[in-house]
């Protein structure tokens, strides 16, 4: 197996689709000089991915593509097609494509072209033995989590404003915000925006910016919270949501992208959102707050439903088993 690039360890701070390869590379180690499968992740393609795929197949190796989201006008602007060009070429060449959600397949078909070879939807996965609920007693404070990286202002803005609504409704609540803040290229300007919103809403004592984190640190961070607030629009198949479910955190989310496929009816509350490829539609903070308050009224039951859904549908051992079956089919063909 070759992944076309180094795989970060669980103790390294990294983000994106490359992290799922930590599980796969433990079972199928990276062998760049002796491999029969080239496995690429569309959201984290190595430089020259098309050339790598061409030469790998020319030498008799098989190409497997893990297809995540694609660029489209609202996300990338008018030059979206150039970003998708490598994905288009790989989708046409791949011997097998794993779409991370049905939404990923639909968006890839629309903006990068359909897969020419075998393909299926295989959602992202989570290690449910590493991400487990805490048994520690809860204080009287409701702790919300905005997980992952904060690369879009609207995600940060909607979550912080929702917290203000929750507190104004009489709930003693706080918000943990993880990851990098990067909606501007200028880090100082980004931090100024964040502080201005927090201070303007008088939430300085209720918001904690934890900063980036590694996969080994993630379970402990998730266990500090009780509800995940996921405000990203059209998110294809975020691992952070699966990690939250496995940790027993129900989710309030924008009901767009692949999110309804992940959370379902019992493990959270979706904020309705129309489908648009031309603009991002942030969830209404007041609606997010109402979702948080509704979940808090049955936190034990919703937490159990979240954990059960992760174990039954998204456990990494099932994900690895499906990969093994596909690799064996490709080797026998």
Q: What is the pLDDT of residues 124-133, one digit of tens each?
A: 999 999 999 9
pLDDT tens per residue, range 235-270: 999 999 999 999 999 999 999 999 999 999 999 999
Rounded CA-CA distance 96/293 in Å is 43
pLDDT tens per residue, range 9-56: 877 766 666 778 889 999 999 999 889 999 999 999 999 999 999 999
User: Residues with Cβ < 8 Å from 133, sequence gap 6 or more?
Assistant: 223, 247, 248, 303, 307
pLDDT at 13: 64
Rounded CA-CA distance 122/97 in Å is 9
Dig out the tokens for 325 from the structure: 């079956």
Indicate the pLDDT class of residue 144, thresholds 50, 70 and 90: very high
Helical ranges in the chain per DSSP H: 21-27, 49-58, 73-76, 80-93, 102-111, 153-168, 187-200, 218-222, 239-246, 259-263, 285-296, 299-313, 316-332
pTM for this predicted structure: 0.95
pLDDT tens per residue, range 155-203: 999 999 999 999 999 999 999 999 999 999 899 999 999 999 999 999 9
CA 15 to mean position of chain CA atoms: 9
- Burial letters 139-164, b for 16+ CB under 10 A, else e: eeebbbbbbbbbebbebbbbbbbbbb
Rounded CA-CA distance 169/172 in Å is 9
Dig out the tokens for 72 from the structure: 């489209």
Indicate the pLDDT class of residue 137, thresholds 50, 70 and 90: very low
User: Residues with Cβ < 8 Å from 283, sequence gap 6 or more?
Assistant: 158, 231, 233, 253, 254, 271, 273
Rounded CA-CA distance 295/324 in Å is 38
């Amino acid at each position: 197996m070759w992944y076309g690039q180094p795989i970060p360890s669980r103790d390294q701070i990294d983000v994106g689709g490359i992290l799922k390869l930590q599980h796969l590379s433990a079972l199928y180690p990276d062998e760049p000089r002796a491999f029969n499968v080239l496995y690429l992740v569309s959201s984290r393609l190595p430089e020259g991915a098309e050339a790598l795929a061409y030469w790998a197949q020319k030498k008799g190796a098989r190409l497997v593509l893990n297809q995540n989201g694609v660029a489209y006008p609202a996300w990338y602007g008018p030059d979206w097609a150039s970003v998708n060009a490598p994905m288009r070429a790989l989708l046409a060449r791949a011997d097998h494509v794993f779409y991370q959600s049905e939404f990923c397949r639909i968006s890839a078909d629309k903006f990068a072209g359909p897969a020419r070879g075998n393909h299926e939807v295989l959602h992202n996965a989570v290690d449910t033995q590493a991400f487990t609920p805490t048994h520690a007693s809860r204080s009287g404070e409701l702790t919300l989590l905005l997980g992952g990286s904060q690369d879009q202002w609207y995600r940060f803005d909607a979550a912080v404003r929702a917290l203000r609504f929750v507190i104004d409704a009489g709930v003693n609540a706080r918000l943990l915000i993880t990851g990098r803040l990067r909606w501007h290229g200028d880090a100082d300007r980004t931090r100024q925006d964040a502080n201005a919103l927090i201070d303007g809403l008088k939430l300085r004592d209720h918001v904690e910016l934890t900063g980036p984190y590694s996969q080994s640190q993630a379970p402990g961070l998730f266990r500090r919270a009780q509800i995940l607030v996921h405000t990203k629009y059209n998110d294809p198949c975020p691992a952070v949501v699966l990690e939250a479910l496995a940790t027993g955190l129900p989710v309030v989310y924008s009901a767009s992208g692949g999110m309804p496929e992940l959370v379902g009816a019992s493990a959270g509350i979706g904020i309705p959102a129309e489908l648009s490829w031309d603009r991002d539609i942030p969830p209404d903070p007041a609606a997010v707050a109402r979702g948080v308050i509704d979940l808090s009224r049955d936190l034990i039951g919703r937490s159990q439903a979240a954990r059960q859904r992760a174990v039954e549908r998204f456990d990494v051992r099932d994900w690895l088993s499906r990969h093994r079956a596909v690799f064996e089919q490709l080797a026998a063909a």
